[in-house]
Amino acid sequence: MTDLAAPTPADSRARRNVVVLVLAQAILGAQMPMIFTIGGLAGQSLASNVCFATLPISLIVIGSMVTATPISAFMQRYGRRAGFFVGALGGALGGFIGAYALYLQSFPLFLLGSFLTGIYMSAQGFYRFAAADTASDDFRPKAISYVMAGGLASAVIGPQLVKLTADAYVIPFLGTYATVIAVNLLGALLFLFLDIPRPPVPAADAPKGRSRRELIATPRIAVAVICAMVSYALMNLVMTSTPLAVVGCGFDKNNAADVVTAHVLAMFVPSFFTGHLIARFGVERIMGLGLVILAVAGGVGLAGVALENFFVALVLLGLGWNFGFIGATTMLAAAHAPEERGKMQGLNDLIVFGGVSVASLASGGLMNCSGGTPQAGWTAVNMAMVPFLVLAGGALLWLMLRPRPEAA
């Protein structure tokens, strides 16, 4: 058993990579809470129909979903570093087009910029897998957790940058999108220090692993993907509509930014110990706990629309996402072979972000077009969590009760 005080040579490299990826998560990752804080509000100001206010957020997620498999294949061929550079370039282009669209007051162009931002979001999703690439079995869950914990800094940096830049120009939010461009161009320099070997070109007779159909039919992989999708989709469903709900219920943009800050902190603070909890109690129990906490978050959201309710519900939402999503990522990383990595990780993100895109599309409609008041919309958003929680909880319970195959 490897001890943290005496890491293996492989883990020495893994730890250096984790430092780079943590910094990338903190700096480059700051653009996501920035955009999720203002995207719906900017969309509401540009869209001719308020039901489409969160469509820019949906386009980010759809962009991420569409590019997940190509970026995974690109990384499999050219390496993680090249893939992460492509992601940062997509983020910079998305920020530039978003800023230009705000200047022109063009909603269609704003949607195009949002779609390109999805390229960055897709690449960011592979940070956690990159952390696992050079890690030993013992260090892998901790490496994933540490990289996810880099989001702790982004949770503070992103919303605070929104406060500083949202009204920096006459055109609202233009300064925020200009800042997104700078974050991508400067943050991309971090990847020059990443030390993950490029995957070797497979020989003609090298094992190709299971097909995508065989992979997704594997019980542990199927349940991991379902729980990852549900955890991420529910987090996105509620978080996307939160700024609209907070402002709609009489609070201001700074209150909305503070709620998002608390939420993103809750998403990433637990990452310092989630890996240890998984190692001690088992990945299934931690995933189950995450789903329970998500359910409690929905209950708090249904209990009222005071500012305290928003804070508590969003903190619980972040905590539940952390346990559910990191647990699912850990389960998935241990359930496929190295030669299956590219196809499995791309397939996973395609399915996960497919679910997230549906949730984000539904978020604006539920919030703005189901009852006529922000309070009624917020209730509809939280009620929509129920069927997804039943799906993930049922799948996880089935896996836990299923007889385990004999160890080889």
Distance CA(148)–CA(143), nearest Å, equals 9
Distance CA(126)–CA(404), nearest Å, equals 29
Q: What is the pLDDT of the chain when averaged over all its residues? A: 87
Higher pLDDT: 261 or 89? It is 89
pLDDT band at 288, cuts 50/70/90?
Answer: very high
pLDDT reported for residue 8 = 58
pLDDT reported for residue 76 = 83
pLDDT reported for residue 50 = 79
Q: Which amino acid is at 351?
A: I
pLDDT tens profile 359-377: 888 888 888 887 778 899 9
What residue ranges do the domains of the chain occupy? 9-192+211-401
The mean-pLDDT minimum among 6-10, 300-304, 374-378 falls in: 6-10
Q: Is 406 a residue whose pLDDT tops 70?
A: no
> What percent of the chain has a predicted confidence (pLDDT) above 90?
49
- Residue 113's closest CA among 165, 163, 63? 63
pLDDT reported for residue 3 = 44
Mean pLDDT within 219-248: 92
DSSP class of residue 404 equals: P
pLDDT tens profile 96-131: 999 999 999 999 999 999 999 999 999 998 898 888
Instruction: Please count the CA atoms within 13 angstroms of the CA of 139 that sit on its side-chain side.
Output: 25
Q: Is 15 a residue whose pLDDT tops 50?
A: yes
Q: Which residue has the tokens 């009852």?
A: 371
Q: Is 36 a residue whose pLDDT tops 80?
A: yes
**What are residue 129's phi and psi, to 5 degrees?**
-70, -35
pLDDT reported for residue 2 = 40
Mean pLDDT within 191-201: 82
Residues in Cβ contact with 49 at an 8 Å cutoff, skipping those fewer than 6 apart:
none
Distance CA(4)–CA(115), nearest Å, equals 41
> What percent of the chain has a predicted confidence (pLDDT) above 70?
95
The mean-pLDDT minimum among 179-183, 276-280, 365-369, 376-380 falls in: 365-369
Mean pLDDT within 221-246: 93
Distance CA(144)–CA(136), nearest Å, equals 12
The domain defined by 9-192+211-401 folds into Growth Hormone; Chain: A; (1.20.1250)
Q: Is 300 a residue whose pLDDT tops 80?
A: yes
pLDDT reported for residue 188 = 95
Q: Which two tokens stand for residue 40?
A: 């719906």
The neighbour count for residue 21, using CB atoms within 10 Å, is: 28
Asked whether 56 and 38 are in contact (CB, 8 A), the reply is: no
pLDDT reported for residue 4 = 42
Q: Is 142 a residue whose pLDDT tops 90?
A: no
For the CA atoms of 202, 207, 210, 212, what is the dihedral angle to 10 degrees? 10
pLDDT band at 408, cuts 50/70/90?
Answer: very low
The neighbour count for residue 45, using CB atoms within 10 Å, is: 17
pTM given for the model: 0.78
